[in-house]
């Protein structure tokens, strides 16, 4: 069963769970505060001791739900009518002390059989550490509550987006992807020192690194998947690659078929924006059978390389021997393509671009706009 009530930001008439609390008065909810022991206000009576929850266990954790259970002494157990659950984001020692703190969430649940499912995207976010403690309570005839001591505090961390959530993001991205434009090369911009290091220290190869935390907070590839970022977007009026880049004035270009061909699997990774009109789609290219491919198969929606709304590789019609490949990318989103394997510089060319290094357009560790209706789904951001 899901938690039927919540006491969060209760003074606001616009609370997202208004109307959900049927078994607890507003005054009683406001008294559901943790102070390390029992509530001290006289509105909650202090009758016979109720059993204190012990040995709290958290299981079945998703990005926006978890199951909770605990042990209790038999004494007074029959009097329990409700559970009070105190849920808070774990404090970050490095957080900005001037930033407004998250409002603690006080959940009020009927005493249902355990384990109990706690679910709610308005108070649970993916990949976030939380603390939780529990009280047992007995509703009295006058509407007041007798409560137990608070349990010990336990910690847990919510999970990444599942493929169900990623498929929801995928559908939103498809809706704005636009028409498909032809392209012929993938390109990667860095500074000169990066390419010098690749030649001198890495056997003339660019080596994969762990993806940063840009994009959706619940993305299962952030901080886990190793790869190399490439671009393929072209200017719609010229069909050529843009001459500006936020990542460096030196560009490696490689023929599209060197990275993307029928021996490559394609996966959808993320969809996000950074408080601007531009929207980004992260795709993953993984050679079949590679470690990156194995990682993605378990976590990301697979795309048909010849038939999808973002990046396609198709046999050229009337190509004689049938070996010719045609590549297209979506016009209305900016594609960030992660290739999961090392890339030899000998496969392409490195040259200096003629445009500018526009640092303001960098997506390194960029945070997703949680208010954008185009690229957010109804789970934690």
Set out the domains of the chain in order of their start, with CATH numbers.
53-158 (2.60.40.10), 163-352 (no CATH)
3-state secondary structure the chain: CECCEEECCCCCCCCCCCCCCCCCCHHHHHCCCCCCCCCCCCCCCCCCCCCCCEEEEEECCCCCEEEEEEECCCCCHHHCCEEEEEEEECCCCCCCCCCCCCCCEEEEEECCCCCEEEECCCCCCCCCEEEEEEEEEEECCCCCEEECCCCCCEEEECCCCCHHHHHHHHHHHHHCCCCEEEECEEEEEECHHHHHHHHHHCCCEECCEECCCCECCCCCCCCCCEEEEEECCCCCCCCCCCCCECCCCEEEEEEHHHHCCCCEEEEEEEEEECCCCCEEEEEEEEECCCHHHHHHHCCCCEECCCCCCCEEEEECCCCCCCCCEEEEEECCCEEEEEECCCEEHHHEEEEECCCCECHHHCCCCCECCCCCCCCCCCCCC
Nearest to 192 by CA among 254, 111, 252, 274: 252
174 burial (CB, 10 Å; 0-12 / 13-18 / 19+) is middle
More confident position, 90 or 171? 171
Residue labelled with tokens 């890339």: 343
**What is the residue whose two structure tokens read 């795709």?**
283
Output the pLDDT for position 276.
83
* Six token digits for residue 313: 């590789």
Least confident span in 29-33, 132-136, 240-244, 322-326: 29-33
| Residue 14 burial by Cβ neighbours in a 10 Å radius (0-12, 13-18, 19+) | exposed
Stretch 28-50: mean pLDDT, rounded?
Answer: 46
Return all residues near 285 (Cβ < 8 A) that are at least 6 apart.
259, 260, 264, 265, 266, 337, 338, 339, 340
Taking residues 117-145, what's their average pLDDT? 89
Question: Which residues pair with residue 327 across a beta bridge?
Answer: 183, 313
Place 117 in a pLDDT band, splitting at 50, 70 and 90: very high
Predicted confidence (pLDDT) at residue 39 exceeds the cutoff of 50: no
d(CA 90, CA 156): 9
Q: Given this model, what pLDDT does residue 244 score?
A: 79
**Pick from 15-24, 123-132, 319-328, 333-342: least confident:** 15-24
- Cα(140)–Cα(80) distance, integer angstroms: 10
Taking residues 158-170, report their average pLDDT.
94
Per-residue pLDDT tens over the stretch 63-94: 999 999 999 999 889 999 999 999 999 875 55
pTM for the whole structure: 0.78
Nearest to 250 by CA among 196, 183, 205, 185: 196
Please state, for a pLDDT cut of 70, what percent of the chain lies above it: 78
Residue in the block written with tokens 């500074």: 191
């Amino acid at each position: 069963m899901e938690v039927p009530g919540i006491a969060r930001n209760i003074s606001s008439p616009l609370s997202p769970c208004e109307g959900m609390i049927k078994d607890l008065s507003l005054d009683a909810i406001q008294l559901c505060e943790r102070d390390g022991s029992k509530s001290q206000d006289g509105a909650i009576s202090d009758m016979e001791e109720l059993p204190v929850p012990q040995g709290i266990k958290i299981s079945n954790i998703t990005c926006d739900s978890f199951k909770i259970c605990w042990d209790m002494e038999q004494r007074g157990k029959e009097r329990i009518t409700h559970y009070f659950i105190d849920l808070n984001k774990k404090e970050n020692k490095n957080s900005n002390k001037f930033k407004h703190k998250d409002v603690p969430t006080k959940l009020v649940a009927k005493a249902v059989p355990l384990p109990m499912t706690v679910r709610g995207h308005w108070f649970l976010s993916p990949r976030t550490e939380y603390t939780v403690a529990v009280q047992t309570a007995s509703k009295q005839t006058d509407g007041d509550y007798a409560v137990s001591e608070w349990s010990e505090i336990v910690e847990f961390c919510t999970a990444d987006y599942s493929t169900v959530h990623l498929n929801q993001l995928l559908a939103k991205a498809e809706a704005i992807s636009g028409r498909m434009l032809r392209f012929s090369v993938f390109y990667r911009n860095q500074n000169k020192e990066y390419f010098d290091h690749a030649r001198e220290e890495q056997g003339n190869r660019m080596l994969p690194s762990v993806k940063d935390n840009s994009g959706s907070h619940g993305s299962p590839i952030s901080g886990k998947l190793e790869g190399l970022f490439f671009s393929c977007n072209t200017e719609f009026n010229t069909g050529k690659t843009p001459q500006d880049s936020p990542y460096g004035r030196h560009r490696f270009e490689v023929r599209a078929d060197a990275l993307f061909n029928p021996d490559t699997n394609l996966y959808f990774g993320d969809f996000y924006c950074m408080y601007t009109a531009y929207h980004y789609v992260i795709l993953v290219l993984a050679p079949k059978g590679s470690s990156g491919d194995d990682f993605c198969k378990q976590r990301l929606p697979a795309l048909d390389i010849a038939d999808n709304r973002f990046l396609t590789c198709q046999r050229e019609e009337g190509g004689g021997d049938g070996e010719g490949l045609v590549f297209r990318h979506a016009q209305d989103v900016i594609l960030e393509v992660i290739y999961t394997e090392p890339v030899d510089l000998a496969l392409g060319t490195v040259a200096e671009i003629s445009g500018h290094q526009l640092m303001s357009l960098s997506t390194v560790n960029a945070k997703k706009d949680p208010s954008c209706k185009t690229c957010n789904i109804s789970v934690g951001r």
